[in-house]
Amino acid sequence: MPTSAEPLERLGFLTIGSFDGDAPAAGHETTLQVIELGERLGFDSAFVRHRHFQYGISSPVAVLAAASQRTSRIDLGTAVIPLAWENPLRLAEDLATVDVLSGGRLNPGISIGPPMRWDDVREALYPDTADAEDFSRTRIERLLSFLRGEPASAFEGTVGIETFSRAVQPHSPGLAGRMWYGAGSGSSAVWAAEQGLNLLTSNVVRAADGETDFAAIQSRLIRSYKQARPDGRVSQGLVVVPTDSATPEQRARYADYAAARDARVGVPQGPAGLLFARDLVGTSDEIAEALHADAGFREVREAVFALPFGFPEEDYVQILTDIAGKLGPALGWAPRG
């Protein structure tokens, strides 16, 4: 477990970037300001979620392009981009462009599987090819090959005044090594390791053979990954809400939020049998004690704590300030200057 001798080495946060559908600019601006705050507080990374047809960030690459111009140090990541919505070649161009703009700070997280609410969106998303689309791991393999500079076109040369490359441009060396995979099972974690991907674990895993102990399942998942790729990076992401400097109203709001989500804890959800971790709400000392007792947390040296959904900016300021100033140091982490 992390101690003063084995501190938490890297600490980041994750936000969904909520906004009002009638005035979306304000919510996107708040997200950018939260990322700027994270850099000032010394966080190592800021990750954004990905949401389609919801009031959250639908284009994280575009948002991070803006964030790259308003920050200078903090790593910028996605958790996660579902590749079923993307053309891997075009996404490779976008990711490489933002990585160049950020000075090599982009850490894209990706996942596979059919698009959420596939039957509702298939005709709009893939009107001519819905039945032929491949949502398997080969989509990730294609993306990685493009990011690594492998040929994507059969032609290279000059035509008139235009010069063409076989590889995706721009090419950003090192980006492929900063790709993350959101895995919920041991087999997918091992596959990610074999592909050279880093591992993002979140507050969701797949139930295993009837077992419902979230931390035990997650810790085995992480160990499977590390056995397959000892030098790979692993990050854990739980919903963590310290209340050290919170007002009584904020504490009550956070407690109500967590209580409303507690019913799903320990109960497999949906056809995939998904298990959710309990949200951690309390003082930094209380949360640190809970994390030190968590089997999954004891396997990692990096964490990306998720901010709760739909809260006002002042709540995120309080939560991030307490994480950076109190919870992080209680876990052995030190803010970056």
Note the Cα 209 to chain centre separation in Å.
27
User: Which domains are assigned to the chain?
Assistant: 10-330 (3.20.20.30)
User: Given a cut of 50, is residue 21 above it in pLDDT?
Assistant: yes
C-alpha pair distances (Å), 94 with each of 74, 89, 156, 170: 19, 9, 21, 9
**Region 190-199: what's the mean pLDDT?**
97
Cβ distance 240 to 309 under 8 Å? no
Q: How confident is the model at residue 5 (pLDDT cuts 50, 70, 90)?
A: very low
pLDDT of residue 138: 97
Residue 138, judged by CB atoms within 10 A of its CB (0-12, 13-18, 19+), counts as exposed
d(CA 273, CA 336) in angstroms, rounded, equals 39
User: Given a cut of 50, is residue 14 above it in pLDDT?
Assistant: yes
pLDDT of residue 337: 80
User: Given a cut of 80, is residue 92 above it in pLDDT?
Assistant: yes
* Digit-coded pLDDT (tens) for 157-190: 999 999 999 999 999 999 999 999 999 899 999 9
* Digit-coded pLDDT (tens) for 123-145: 999 999 999 999 999 999 999 99
* Digit-coded pLDDT (tens) for 313-332: 999 999 999 999 999 999 99
User: Given a cut of 70, is residue 153 above it in pLDDT?
Assistant: yes
Angle at 34 between CA 28 and CA 37, to 5 degrees: 145
pLDDT of residue 6: 73
Q: How confident is the model at residue 271 (pLDDT cuts 50, 70, 90)?
A: confident
pTM higher than 0.85? yes
pLDDT of residue 77: 98
Q: How confident is the model at residue 1 (pLDDT cuts 50, 70, 90)?
A: very low
Share of the chain above pLDDT 90, in %: 94
SS3 sequence, the chain?
CCCCCCCCCEEEEEECCCCECCEHHHHHHHHHHHHHHHHHHCCCEEEECCCCCCCCCCCHHHHHHHHHCCCCCCEEEEEEEEHHHCCHHHHHHHHHHHHHHHCCCEEEEEECCCCCCHHHHHHHHCCCCCCCCCCCCHHHHHHHHHHCCCCCCCCCEEECCEEECCCCCCCCCCCHHHCEEECCCHHHHHHHHHCCCEEEECCEEECECCECCHHHHHHHHHHHHHHHCCCCCEEECCEEEECCCCCHHHHHHHHHHHHHHHHHCCCCECCCCEEECCCEEECHHHHHHHHHCCCCHHHCCEEEEECCCCCCHHHHHHHHHHHHHHHHHHCCCCCCC
User: Given a cut of 60, is residue 2 above it in pLDDT?
Assistant: no
